[in-house]
Amino acid sequence: MRKPPQNPHDLSRHDLDDILGTINDEARQRFGEGKVADYIPSLADVPADRFGMALALPDGTVHACGDARERFSIQSVSKVFTLTLALEAIGDDLWKRVDREPSGDPFNSLVQLEYEKGIPRNPFMNAGALVTADVVLSSFDDAEATLLDFMRARSGNPEVGSDDVVARSERKSGYRNVAMANFIRSYDNLHNDVQQVLDFYYLQCALRMDCVDLARSVQYLADAGRCASSGVQVTSAEGATRINSVMMTAGTYDAAGDFAYYVGLPAKSGVGGGIVAVVPHVMGLCVWSPALDEKGNSLLGRYALHRLTRMTGLSVF
Ligand code: DON
């Protein structure tokens, strides 16, 4: 007789600490694969042999393993939070200035911008994140303080801050971002001073947080927009669904198809080696390991998310 199907969303079926322990052991055996990002000079010094993972549940419970309390540069993971701020500020008008289609191109690609008239494909490629940063700058009196307050409230960690050394390093080496911002400006799709937009963008990318902070920070996307750390309704249930869908289709750039296939969760990566992911209605999570694959996503992060979804059955598919 066939067994009745089991509900993977019933977390009492899983020993999450045991599962994380297994994934941690497996990941550490693969240290040495992948390559730490070095195009931002201050990121090149981060040791590759680090692995941490944290899961944050809507009741505030956190499960973590490995180097989950070591802080790292969150880089493009920040784009989830500026997207949330921009959507809350101007709603669907955002989509007149940035599209929500996968790009199939690398995160720092400029190629589509000209024939798509300065409208970036999605808010997660660098070009789209610059437009989103511009919207945040226009929407709040003190955008930097707004973003820092947002991250501290979401993570429940009042010490979250941005690393000036990393931000300065990006400012010195960000030739592509400078080109991109000026190009978008030529289509009138940036409204603030180009350098001001770039500086805000570098500040958001240089935020330093650990896996526990980030799992808690993204947890509102797993609970219909409600943040467990602060009790605040950050966005509507519909808003959370929409952000998750853009993460699914564009959060890992030209590897979004591979992530859907191999992991099956909305996810957003950063070149610091962090990846946040969401199991809708179940948990927010973050994994960090600095060595990247050729698409710029954490190699062991991708592996760990694959193992988690396969060991628990928790994927959207
Ligand atoms: O602008 C950049 O290139 C970096 N600050 C962020 C890139 C990034 O994290 C892309 N993610 N995989």
DSSP lists the bridge partners of residue 62 as 56
Alpha-carbon distance of 197 to 82, in angstroms, equals 13
Mean pLDDT of the chain: 96
For the cut 80, the answer to whether the pLDDT of residue 236 exceeds it is: yes
pLDDT of residue 13: 82
Q: Which amino acid is at 314?
A: L
pLDDT of residue 8: 73
pLDDT of residue 12: 82
Q: Which domains does the chain have, with CATH numbers?
A: 11-312 (3.40.710.10)
Q: Are 210 and 72 in contact (CB under 8 A)?
A: yes
What is the pLDDT confidence band of residue 198, given thresholds at 50, 70 and 90?
A: very high
- Measured in Å, residue 73 CA sits from the centre of ligand 1 at 10
Alpha-carbon distance of 87 to 216, in angstroms, equals 20
Nearest to 274 by CA among 203, 206, 221: 206
Quick check: CB of 204 below 6 Å from ligand 1? no
Quick check: CB of 270 below 6 Å from ligand 1? yes
Q: Which atom of ligand 1 is nearest to the CA of 295?
A: 12
Terminal-residue alpha carbon distance, the chain: 25
pLDDT of residue 298: 98
Cross-sheet strand order for the sheet of 267-269: 62-66, 52-56, 283-288, 274-279, 267-269
Quick check: CB of 250 below 6 Å from ligand 1? no
Quick check: CB of 108 below 6 Å from ligand 1? yes
Q: Are 285 and 279 in contact (CB under 8 A)?
A: yes
pLDDT of residue 5: 67
Alpha-carbon distance of 116 to 194, in angstroms, equals 20
Quick check: CB of 298 below 6 Å from ligand 1? no
Active site residues: 76, 79, 201, 253, 271
Alpha-carbon distance of 189 to 124, in angstroms, equals 16
Q: Which atom of ligand 1 is nearest to the CA of 76?
A: 9
Tokens of 245: 């869908």
- 250-283 pLDDT, tens digit each: 999 899 999 999 999 999 999 999 999 999 999 9
- 280-311 pLDDT, tens digit each: 999 999 999 999 999 999 999 999 999 999 99
Phi, psi of 268, deg, nearest 5: -135, 125
Q: Where are the alpha helices (DSSP H) in the chain?
A: 16-28, 78-90, 94-97, 111-115, 126-139, 143-155, 164-173, 175-186, 194-205, 211-218, 237-250, 256-262, 299-312
Residues 6+ apart with CB under 8 A from 232: 153, 226
- Measured in Å, residue 201 CA sits from the centre of ligand 1 at 10
- Measured in Å, residue 54 CA sits from the centre of ligand 1 at 22
- 8-30 pLDDT, tens digit each: 778 888 899 999 999 999 999 99
For the cut 70, the answer to whether the pLDDT of residue 1 exceeds it is: no
Q: CA 278, 279, 282 angle in degrees (round to 5)?
A: 120
Cα 20 to Cα 72, 248, 316: the distances in Å are: 20, 23, 20
For residues 24-40, average pLDDT:
96
Q: Which atom of ligand 1 is nearest to the CA of 77?
A: 9
For the cut 90, the answer to whether the pLDDT of residue 2 exceeds it is: no
Quick check: CB of 274 below 6 Å from ligand 1? no
- Measured in Å, residue 178 CA sits from the centre of ligand 1 at 13
Torsion on CA atoms 68, 70, 76, 79, rounded to nearest 10: 70
Write a three-state SS string for 57-98: CCCCCEEEEECCCCCEECHHHHHHHHHHHHHHHHHHHHHHHC
Q: Consult the annotation and say whether 220 binds a ligand.
A: no
pLDDT of residue 7: 77
For residues 164-172, average pLDDT:
96
Nearest to 78 by CA among 296, 292, 276: 276
